[in-house]
Amino acid sequence: MCGIVGYIGPQQAAGLLTEGLARLEHRGYDSAGVAVLGSRLQVVKKAGRVRDLVDALPKRFAGKVGIGHTRWATHGPANDTNAHPHVSADGRVAVVHNGIVDNAASLRERLTEAGVELASDTDTEVFAHLIGLSTADTLEAKVVDALSQVEGTWGLAVVHADFPDRMVVARNGSPLIVGVGDGEMYVASDLAAVVRHTTTVAHLDDGELATVTATGFTTFRQDLTTTTTTAREVDVDPSAYEYGELDGEPRMFTEIHEQPSSVERALRGRLDERFGTAHLGGLNLDPRELRAIRRVKILGCGSAYYVGQMGAGLIEELARVPADAEAASEFRYRNPIIEPDTLYVAVSQSGETIDTLLAVQEIKRKGGRVLGVVNVVGSAIARAVDGGIYLHAGPEIAVASTKALTNMYVAFSLLALQLGRVRDLSIADGKRLIAGLQALPTQIEEILKSESHLEEIAARLAEAESMFFVGRVRGYPVAREGAQKLKEISYRHAEAYQTSELKHGPLALISESVPTVAIVPKDELTDRNVAALHEISARRGPLVVVTHPDVDLGELDALRVDVPKNEVELDPILMTIPLQLIAFHAAKALGHDVDKPRNLAKSVTVE
């Protein structure tokens, strides 16, 4: 959600900025713009795609210092005027900003009373004017002066015509990194923007600012005292961040098909077959501390929340510890009770999800212990927590999460296994689960081979304006995730229910035009699940049943999707894979941009 790129060095900035912005397109945006500082400050911004911005750039757009931005509209509609960068009244200051200015209305009123003519509807514009009006002697002091008047969150980059040898950046609740090159420096909100040029980066902390010149950077706080943030080499493959389609297919398609190898990476070095347990050194918890845990609370947003529900069920089953999942976006607003013997787990692909990060900060503020389950090394959540599990899914570019979600479930399986083995889970059960985990990559490959069948089902579901996804106990979070995936990329209405709740209201909506996708694993509830499906069929509701090969559906009129059987505790993740393919092919059948669904962003960095 929104992206920032900055450059200072010997090269012309414009091309580097637009290239970086294109690499942030997966984050979601509706307009883009750049400012370059050469003999004068020049700004071009455009509603639409980055390619529209590139087409709008004049032939003479020279400057070796610059900032760029992709905007996702909050204050004011998506148009050229509201796009970033925003400029001060005298045209000498340009700023780009991710985040929200909570007191924007009062600041805009104050600026108007001072004679400033505001050009946009945005909250961000106040930064440009506050910096431009500051009488401080240095750019750093001008930015600090402006920040002292602002309430809210920001990832901010500033250039000023009076200080052409530098830019100043600041972070408070919205991610920002500084990339170190050879005689040149980069700034970005996401590593993807700069990874082609450098993998040596410094992550700013909340409340920290940096002065960036062509030869290096220095960091400081708002009281202008220096800090000691340093840059480190990040172990990533730059080619994995290549944007756009791969081999002619959307990124979501390739990421679905990468899941066998991504699961193998998540398991590598973490299974202890001798003792039937997992080894997660990153937890920073010894066996005595693990045994002292009396409750587990999992926090995530969207798909991370749903996989957290799957993980909570798994932890209760294997470790016999009470566990539940909650939407991180709601957690801190209900003044939660933070218990010393509760283990809190924050789940986020990007590691930058603002709602989840704020929940982590609330728990830490109250003395709780938090683990992170994240995919991005060095991300804000990864640095804020007490320990955690990296997903090792590799960069995930498509907005709809697939391989990262699968690796989240694998991570919860490992956590549940380790928690269970320090309690009452037997070594025999531990070894049984390890064998199941090791079988996952091959079984996922088997599911992917049935893609043509799933494509046919998706085409039929795409014709429906609304549908249900249903499941019980282990299957219910799978149904929730299936509904989420379908609606976010196909724009069809999909609602998830516990199968047992159908008779308490939703059956009223069942008809020939409202299909149901049912999750029916072979487990202790199979017969009850199948009986409920007969209730749907009796009301002429079309059925798609995701199940196991030896489940007898009787005379049920349904489209059947068979999934390989694993251990009952691990079946949910395999049943999620066909739902990913159904959502993908439904969206394609409807002609939608699968990788960039409307109104959504890959990394949500504003509340």
Q: Which residues are tagged catalytic?
A: 2, 602
C-alpha to C-alpha distance for 303 and 407, rounded to whole angstroms: 12
| SS3 of 333-355 | HHCCCCCCCEEEEEEECCCCCHH
C-alpha to C-alpha distance for 126 and 115, rounded to whole angstroms: 13
pLDDT of 72 reads 84
Residues 6 or more apart in contact with residue 505 via CB below 8 angstroms: none
pLDDT in tens, 87-145: 999 999 999 999 999 999 999 999 999 999 999 999 999 999 999 999 999 999 999 99
Matching CATH number, 3-241, of 3.40.50.1970, 3.60.20.10, 3.30.460.80, 3.40.50.1860 = 3.60.20.10
pLDDT in tens, 235-259: 777 776 665 545 678 999 999 999 9
Beta bridge partners of 43: 35
Mean pLDDT over residues 520-528, rounded? 94
pLDDT of 1 reads 61
C-alpha to C-alpha distance for 84 and 156, rounded to whole angstroms: 11
**Can you read off the two tokens belonging to residue 398?**
């498509």
Edge-first strand listing for the sheet containing 185-188? 41-47, 31-37, 65-71, 3-8, 185-188, 177-180, 200-203, 232-233
Whether the per-residue pLDDT at 462 is higher than 90: the answer is yes
Q: Which CATH class is domain 245-425?
A: alpha beta
Q: 238 with 394: CB under 8 angstroms?
A: no
Per-residue pLDDT band for 26 (boundaries 50, 70, 90) equals confident
DSSP state, 204? P
Beta bridge partners of 178: 187, 202
pLDDT of 273 reads 94
Mean pLDDT over residues 585-594, rounded? 95
Whether the per-residue pLDDT at 580 is higher than 60: the answer is yes
C-alpha to C-alpha distance for 323 and 294, rounded to whole angstroms: 9
DSSP state, 398? S
Mean pLDDT over residues 220-234, rounded? 94
Whether the per-residue pLDDT at 85 is higher than 60: the answer is yes
C-alpha to C-alpha distance for 404 and 256, rounded to whole angstroms: 10
Beta bridge partners of 390: 374
Mean pLDDT over residues 78-85, rounded? 95
Asked if domains 245-425 and 450-592 share a fold, the reply is yes
Mean pLDDT over residues 485-502, rounded? 94
C-alpha to C-alpha distance for 607 and 605, rounded to whole angstroms: 7
β-strands 167-172, 154-160 pairing: antiparallel
Cα separation values, 389 from 411, 415, 431, 606, Å:
7, 9, 21, 24
Average predicted confidence (pLDDT) for the chain: 93
Q: Which of 251, 249, 248, 263 is nearest to 447 (CA)?
A: 263
Q: What is the CATH number of domain 450-592?
A: 3.40.50.10490
pLDDT of 23 reads 87
E strand or H helix at 388, and its extent? strand 387-390
Domain ranges across the chain: 3-241, 245-425, 450-592
Q: 87 with 63: CB under 8 angstroms?
A: no
Cα separation values, 524 from 315, 520, 534, Å:
18, 11, 18
Whether the per-residue pLDDT at 605 is higher than 70: the answer is no
